[in-house]
Amino acid sequence: MPIKILLIKQTSLGDVLHMTPLLRAIKKCFSECEIDVVTDKRALGILKNNPYINKFYVLDIYRYERDMFKSPRYFFSVVSEFISHIKIVRKTKYDIAIDLQGLERSVIFLYLAKAEKKYAKGKWLFLKSNYYKDINAIHGLMSFLDFIDCESDGTGLDFFLPSDIESKFNEKINDANVGIEKDYIVMSPFSRWTTKDLPIEKAKEIISVIRKKSDMQIIVSATSDYKNDLENIVLGFDNVLSLAGVLDIETLAYLIKNAKGMIAVDSFPMHIASAFNTPLIALFGATSEKRVGPLSENSSVIRLENLPCAMCYLRKNCTNESKYKCMNDLDSEKIIHTLFNFL
């Protein structure tokens, strides 16, 4: 019988992508093992083509968090659905189960899973726990290999794209009625935290500096929530294109994989660039590159030095008297100089 292993990593997208070197190492260590994964449905675009995964247990975490406290009816509906997922996981007996998330909503799966050996991120009662802080998240996840006597296979991220990804990408681009040139730079100025976002004027300034050096196409990408912001950023520039809300996870990955270079804030697109070793300039302010910075060879982190409030980890409502100084005062010339050194 093959060894059965359960990995729990529900959110967020970047964190899920960080798990992929662990998957690869475990499969190399136990070549006949079956690895099942508990994750959120939004992460399927990252993992569904991964050859090391046997089966998924798919949750809808963001909907649960959004709906749970709307009313008593919603609360009991969400709890009931969550329990049903746990019951399904309990139908299989695992040799090893690991919670890589370290949150209450993830560790409950570990507590209730039928597994001979259980390990968890953080500090939890009756569980062998793996607590780490202020090290890169990928190194932290890889440290779980010590518990199961496996060797690391390196920290490179795996993002497997489907065989028909080129046609899917072209279909998205044709539907949006835009043209993608052979050579282009991708800019990803926004994230899920306001404090990590590039201010619109700073994004425009960076594009202006690029234009002093090159007329290469610049593609600014974000979710549909930022459509108006992206239209403001690209306004007045030649050969600068907004793709707000046009691409899904897989086609976004294809865009970044084939880019000549990328400028990104601390966000999921930044991690995609790292996975494909796309020349990357990662812009940091409110968060720490020691914890989540790219480890790829063709990457460089730029932040505003000697700022007392740096790495504040506030999601919004910057407390600096010069609002969002950590991003507003980034040196655009340095950003572009570093990028073009890669190119």
First to last CA, the chain: 50
118 CA to centre of own chain = 26
34 CA to centre of own chain = 25
Residues 195-250 have pLDDT tens digits of 999 999 999 999 999 999 999 999 999 999 999 999 999 999 999 999 999 999 99
Structural domain includes residue 153: no
Spell out the residues 6+ positions from residue 15 whose beta carbon is closer than 8 angstroms to its own.
Answer: 9, 101, 137
The pTM (predicted TM-score) of the whole model is 0.95
For residue 199, the 8-state DSSP code is: P
Structural domain includes residue 154: no
Domain tally for the chain? 2
The mean pLDDT value for 260-268 works out to 98
Q: 186: pLDDT confidence band, cut at 50, 70 and 90?
A: very high
Euclidean distance between CA atoms 52 and 31, whole angstroms? 9
Same domain, 144 and 55: yes
69 CA to centre of own chain = 27
Share of the chain above pLDDT 90, in %: 92
Q: At what angle do helices 227-234 and 200-213 cross, to 10 degrees?
A: 40
Query: What is the token pair recorded at 59?
Result: 């949750």
Q: Which residue has the higher pLDDT, 142 or 134?
A: 142
Structural domain includes residue 276: yes
Same domain, 141 and 230: no
Same domain, 213 and 324: yes
CATH code at position 132: 3.40.50.2000
290 exposed, middle or buried (CB, 10 Å; 0-12, 13-18, 19+)? Answer: middle
Structural domain includes residue 315: yes
Spell out the residues 6+ positions from residue 291 whose beta carbon is closer than 8 angstroms to its own.
Answer: 134, 135, 136, 137
The H-or-E segment that residue 29 falls in is helix 20-29
- pLDDT value, residue 330: 97
Residues 33-49 have pLDDT tens digits of 999 999 999 999 999 99
Spell out the residues 6+ positions from residue 289 whose beta carbon is closer than 8 angstroms to its own.
Answer: 266, 282, 301, 303
Same domain, 174 and 134: no
Same domain, 138 and 199: no
Same domain, 114 and 48: yes
Spell out the residues 6+ positions from residue 183 whose beta carbon is closer than 8 angstroms to its own.
Answer: 216, 217, 260
Determine the structural domain holding residue 240 and report its residue range.
Answer: 165-342
User: Residue 141 above 90 pLDDT?
Assistant: yes
Structural domain includes residue 266: yes
- pLDDT value, residue 172: 97
Dihedral angle of Cα 164, 168, 171, 173, to the nearest 10 degrees: -130
Query: What is the token pair recorded at 205?
Result: 């300034």
Residues 56-92 have pLDDT tens digits of 999 999 999 888 888 888 889 999 999 999 999 999 9
The mean pLDDT value for 161-189 works out to 97
Euclidean distance between CA atoms 246 and 249, whole angstroms? 10
Euclidean distance between CA atoms 156 and 167, whole angstroms? 26
The mean pLDDT value for 296-325 works out to 93
Q: Which residue has the higher pLDDT, 323 or 28?
A: 28
Same domain, 118 and 171: no
